[in-house]
Amino acid sequence: GESVGLHLPTLSVQEGDNSIINCAYSNSASDYFIWYKQESGKGPQFIIDIRSNMDKRQGQRVTVLLNKTVKHLSLQIAATQPGDSAVYFCAEKYILTGGGNKLTFGTGTQLKVEL
Amino acid sequence: GAVVSQHPSWVICKSGTSVKIECRSLDFQATTMFWYRQFPKQSLMLMATSNEGSKATYEQGVEKDKFLINHASLTLSTLTVTSAHPEDSSFYICSAYDDSYTYEQYFGPGTRLTVT
């Protein structure tokens, strides 16, 4: 089930089940939305992104859904494995006028995979 | 490809001293690098944008005189935490922007700073 910790929401799933991690965003002007995975003591690792004019994108074992009407983003992980245990962040990406981009990170969700 | 390193990976310093953290793009040039701070069980917060050959741009609420940024080459940016205090203890993460091929940010492994 899903629970809210002191700062970080936690999602616990059984190995082999599908995981759904949710994110609400605030800025409708974002150009892309990105999901990152962060293992303890490490930097964020890119998982998948979706352009703001799309509503679904699939990768290897992962699917990102974007609902712009309610400003909601989700990451679905199929057949969750122990190695998927980590904190997952969504991020909004803005492409800057002069080049480059800027990322704004969401709160994050701790995914715990139970054997 | 697109590897970013940070040094040191962890550092302990005494209150009042300064500590320098390096961020290097190993296989690409980065005109722009970013510095983030992350407190335990919290998200990454952008501190500043580091631009090669020019002054860094700091986010609102980040003291530029306390967090000195130098981006002297296309592969190296440094963050110096001056007169560190225990409340500066945090996980500092840099990213480097590839403006030649992928136009993406690539993150370093982070530096754990503990101020005693």
pLDDT in tens, A52-90: 999 999 999 999 999 999 999 999 999 999 999 999 999
Strands B10-13 and B57-58: unpaired
Nearest of B63, B95, B96, B54 to residue B81 by alpha carbon: B63
Q: What pLDDT, on the 0 to 100 scale, is given for residue A7?
A: 65
Residues in chain B: 116
Mark yes or no for CB contact B97/A100 under 8 Å: yes
Of B4, B41, B97, the CB nearest to A7: B41
Rounded to an integer, the average pLDDT of B33-59 is: 94
Q: Phi, psi at residue A12, to the nearest 5°?
A: -110, 130
Give A4's pLDDT tier (boundaries 50, 70, 90).
very low
pLDDT score, position A27:
81
B112/A105 Cβ within 8 A? no
β-partners of residue B70 are B78
Q: Taking CB atoms and an 8 Å limit, are A104 and B32 in contact across chains?
A: no
- Confidence check: pLDDT of B37 > 70: yes
A5 touches chain B (CB under 8 A): yes
Query: Which pLDDT tens digit goes with each residue over A22-46?
Result: 999 988 888 999 999 999 999 999 9
- The more confidently predicted of residues A44 and B1 is A44
CA A18 to chain centre: 14
Give the pLDDT score at A2. 38
How many CB pairs (< 8 A) connect A and B? 51
| Residue B88 confidence (pLDDT) above 50 | yes
% of chain A beyond a pLDDT of 90: 78
* Gap between the Cα atoms of B76 and B15, Å rounded: 26
